[in-house]
Structure 1
Amino acid sequence: MLSLQSISSLIFAYLFLTLSAQAQEPENILFENVRVFDGQSKSLSGPVNVWIEGNKVKSISAAPIPSGEGVTKIQGNGKTLMPGLIDVHVHMTFGALSMREMMSPMLSEGVIMEKVGGGAERMLMRGFTSVRDAGGPIFPLKKGIDQGKLNGPRVWPSGATISQTAGHGDFRTPEEKSRRFFGEPSRAERFNATFIADGRDEVLTAVRENLRFGASQIKLMAGGGTSSAYDPVDVTQYTFDEMRAAVEAAEDWGTYVMVHAYTPRAIRRAIDAGVKCIEHGQLLDKKTLRYAARKKVWLSTQMLVENTPNMDPQRIEKRAPVLEGQARVWPMAKKLKLKLAWGTDFLFEPELNDRQNEFILKLQTWFTNAEILKMVTHDNAELLQLSGLRSPYPGKLGVVEEGALADLILVDGDPLADLSLIANPAEKFVVIMKDGKVYKNTMN
């Protein structure tokens, strides 16, 4: 049976010794006769031409744009050019592997190559050009993508989650003892999945360790969870001083802390400690939502599905109040005008990945098509930029405008009128571009 440390080594080796199929290099590209969803408007533009020079949008014009030799022209024929999709809560490694696969004695390098590397490329082919990884062993994967050894979205990495003992990130098996008392880090810690850190000093070290490796933001576990063994959903995790230490260390590097939490008590403490983004929050009440809005804190939440067939019975029981709460929180948060972001949070259920786009449609209960498209492009991009100078990709994303980075999708149809187009990327996304490079083009 492979150890978690061996798994990490295999992923690293795959990313840096194996070359994937490459996209075209950035070039001058002219989209002719397209209608633009710019990331914010409630309607499409009239027919325009969009000039891409290198990795940026150079110009947008209703008049013809002169082009010389060496220019790739894409005839849009009235199709919709829009920003690439953004998911701000993914787990690129743990979302690609089931828990059974992670612990299986049959786990092999080939499985890891297919699941993790292939999962990143398939996510890009679903039109997700940027993601925020919300915790796990991510740095080798991100480096492989950035160096062109693997196709995948831009990644804003958090690194290992930071958790108290018996917190949501305490993934120890029953026989694994406390590192503090027995001196041995758990397998999950050796795999860079999590840091179990207690007390101000350990929290500071854990935050700084992630920043050392290139984290663009920090993920802290501030409350109980549904997929963890030890902590009930209702518990509050980390003292104010511990949480404040994480915030101070992140702010010293010009970035921010996001926290996993559901309950008003946990979230209020996090806000008071200076946390800038709440992940989940499905058990929030109106009073705490109002407080978050007043403090201009982001709520990055999801629309979870009902329980999947192979889900552990304990997890099903713990998820029940969360599933009930999400139907209340989304409309309350919208009414109170919170800064809202959307993500999927697929974890150890790789069968859900192919439904990533479909989950966007679940927001239609409370939002218009225009509001949804704005959230999964422009608004999610704004959240990514909270990383400030720690953002790994300088430039403007989530919009189609002159000077913005060229992360674009050409959609066969009008997604403002028919949002279901977004849920069919294989057929309806005819061009996918990231950083000015074309990764898919069926218009030839």
Structure 2
Amino acid sequence: MGNAKDSRRTLIKNARVFDGLADRAADGVDVLIDGRTIAAVSTDPIDAQSADATVIDAGGKFLMPGLSDAHVHLMGNANGYLDFVAGPTGSLYTNTLAEARRMLHRGFTTVRDMGGDVAPIKTSIDRGDFEGPRIFPSQAMISQTSGHADFAFVYQTPQEFGGGPSRTDEIGFTRVADGVDRVLAAVREQLRKGASQIKLTVGGGAASMYDPLYTLQFTPDEIRAAVAAAADYGTYVATHVYTVDGVRRAIEAGVRSIEHGHLADEATVALIGEKGLWLSMQPFAEADHHYPDPARAAKNTQICAGTEAVYGWARKHGVQVAFGTDLLLEPEAAPRQSVMAARLGDYYSNVEALKMLTSGNAALFEMAGPRNPYASARLGVIAEGAWADLLLIDGDPIADLSVIAQPDEKFVLIVKDGVVVKNAV
């Protein structure tokens, strides 16, 4: 990070602080940042001169941890379908770097990327060369042939029969693998490339062309092989899946994070809670995605129809729920990330939503264990020793969660890794 950054000290005075954990905010709080972490949080005034710090007067505004998103596709957010199949490879990465900066300026300081070759992007951001959020990479989405992440054209011969990889396999956005041996190799390949956790697609999806939602993808033995290979590296498998049968197959195979789950029933949602697993949900509405053909549009409608019930059952049964967006292949829709975060207030109290967006998601990220690239400090909280990732908001999201859907106007200060990336105080 460099000595200049590590020696920087910033004092935010007189803030109304939501620490990511409590049910209410505390008034008149000073927060001292020393280098990359928070050095002190005090209701007694901290003297700026003795602290040798640059002072920012919050004027009583709302200070909270940076937002997080547990299911992004940075490369998928930044590029459309034609960019992937016909565009130059370099543009995929430059577009992704540009979107990473925009995401940070929307207040998202940490994300878990669930499919895409973003480990090199993460390295550049962590080094301080570019602005962007902290990234927990999954690297390529691993799929069976004809599965959710099989982007080969229908006339292409599958690799099992001697065909070549699809364009998205070539660039590390996806990896098609059939059979236990190839699944093992695919998991180990992503770990070699820097994955924090592994993403498997074990059911149908809206964005994919060949798989109705009811399909079961990967055999139990294939999923168990992926789980074992990830566990050998101290981490876990997360699975794209919507349906009852798909979720239950994933649970039985040892998967620890269910991505989506919108078509589950109450008993299956309760089972996720009983097993102590994570449900990484998205508050989908039909307008979040647009599909050019009736079949995929119909799948999207069906998925969105399950959102409210699954959130309700998750609350009823005490399931650990994470927030994500899963916006994909529509760069113009990327700003909906902020709208979707505010939409959590339709299903949870405002303070419950804020906890999920901060310390809650962080607990899921930390499940990567030794693969957690940011384990040397705490994420998602304002506390002594935590990472200095902070938002100062002109408004009170505990009273009105909609303010987080207006980052350009309402986020007057954004700090990530101790560095002020926006200051409009």
The answer to whether the aligner puts 1:428 opposite 2:413 as a matched pair is no
Distance 2:360 2:109 in 1: 14
The change in CA–CA distance for 1:38 and 1:163 in structure 2 (over 3 A counts) is same
Q: Which residue of 1 aligns with 2:177?
A: 197
Give yes or no for contact 1:226–1:319 (8 Å, CA) kept in 2.
yes
Q: Give the percent of matched residue pairs that are identical in Structure 1 and Structure 2.
A: 46
Q: Which residue of 1 aligns with 2:387?
A: 405
Give yes or no for contact 1:31–1:51 (8 Å, CA) kept in 2.
yes
Q: Which residue of 2 aligns with 1:175?
A: 155
Distance 1:191 1:38 in 2: 40
Q: Which of 257, 260, 267 is matched with 2:247 structurally? A: 267
The change in CA–CA distance for 1:113 and 1:198 in structure 2 (over 3 A counts) is closer
Give yes or no for contact 1:166–1:230 (8 Å, CA) kept in 2.
yes
Distance 2:89 2:149 in 1: 25
Q: Which of 304, 312, 317 is matched with 2:293 structurally? A: 312
Give yes or no for contact 2:66–2:380 (8 Å, CA) kept in 1.
yes
Q: 1:89, CA displacement in angstroms?
A: 0.4
Distance 2:349 2:308 in 1: 16
Q: Which of 125, 142, 157 is matched with 2:122 structurally? A: 142
Amino acid corresponding to residue 66 of structure 2 in structure 1: G
Partner SS state of residue 76, structure 2: coil
Q: Which of 76, 85, 104 is matched with 2:67 structurally? A: 85
1:155-187 CA-partner distances (Å, limit 9, x unpaired) = 000011111111111110123211121142222
Q: Which of 96, 106, 117 is matched with 1:126 structurally? A: 106
Partner SS state of residue 299, structure 1: strand
Q: Which of 367, 379, 384 is matched with 2:360 structurally? A: 379
Distance 1:112 1:133 in 2: 15
Amino acid corresponding to residue 169 of structure 1 in structure 2: A
Distance 2:192 2:266 in 1: 38
Q: 1:108, CA displacement in angstroms?
A: 8.4
Distance 2:308 2:110 in 1: 27
The change in CA–CA distance for 1:170 and 1:43 in structure 2 (over 3 A counts) is same
Distance 2:305 2:258 in 1: 18
Give yes or no for contact 2:235–2:367 (8 Å, CA) kept in 1.
yes
Distance 1:380 1:285 in 2: 23
1:13-61 CA-partner distances (Å, limit 9, x unpaired) = xxxxxxxxx9x83411111101100112221102111111111111111
Partner SS state of residue 157, structure 2: coil
> What are the within-5 Å matches in structure 2 for residues 44-443 of structure 1?
44-68=25-49, 70-104=52-86, 112=92, 115-307=95-287, 308=289, 311-394=292-375, 395-443=377-425
Partner SS state of residue 47, structure 1: strand
Give yes or no for contact 1:409–1:429 (8 Å, CA) kept in 2.
yes
Distance 1:108 1:40 in 2: 42
Distance 2:125 2:245 in 1: 39
1:59-114 CA-partner distances (Å, limit 9, x unpaired) = 11121212337511000110111000000100001111111333446x685x5466
Give yes or no for contact 2:291–2:297 (8 Å, CA) kept in 1.
no
Distance 1:245 1:186 in 2: 24
Q: 1:226, CA displacement in angstroms?
A: 1.1
Q: 1:361, CA displacement in angstroms?
A: 2.0
Unaligned segments of structure 2, at least 5 residues: none
Give yes or no for contact 2:85–2:167 (8 Å, CA) kept in 1.
no
Distance 1:108 1:332 in 2: 43
Amino acid corresponding to residue 370 of structure 2 in structure 1: L
How many pairs does the alignment contain?
A: 419
Partner SS state of residue 25, structure 1: helix
1:254-296 CA-partner distances (Å, limit 9, x unpaired) = 1000000011111111111111000000000011111111101
TM-score of the superposed pair, with normalisation by structure 1: 0.91
The answer to whether the aligner puts 1:32 opposite 2:13 as a matched pair is yes
Unaligned segments of structure 1, at least 5 residues: 1-21
Give yes or no for contact 1:179–1:186 (8 Å, CA) kept in 2.
no
Q: 1:200, CA displacement in angstroms?
A: 1.1
1:233-264 CA-partner distances (Å, limit 9, x unpaired) = 00111111111110111111110000000111
Q: Which runs of 4+ in 1 moved over 6 A?
A: none
1:321-347 CA-partner distances (Å, limit 9, x unpaired) = 211111211111111110000100001
The change in CA–CA distance for 1:398 and 1:197 in structure 2 (over 3 A counts) is same
Q: 1:383, CA displacement in angstroms?
A: 0.5
Give yes or no for contact 1:158–1:217 (8 Å, CA) kept in 2.
yes
Q: 1:314, CA displacement in angstroms?
A: 2.0
Give yes or no for contact 2:286–2:301 (8 Å, CA) kept in 1.
no
Partner SS state of residue 280, structure 1: strand
Distance 1:102 1:172 in 2: 12
Partner SS state of residue 280, structure 2: strand
TM-score of the superposed pair, with normalisation by structure 2: 0.95
* The 10-residue stretch of structure 1 (58-67 or 405-414) with the greater mean CA deviation from structure 2: 58-67
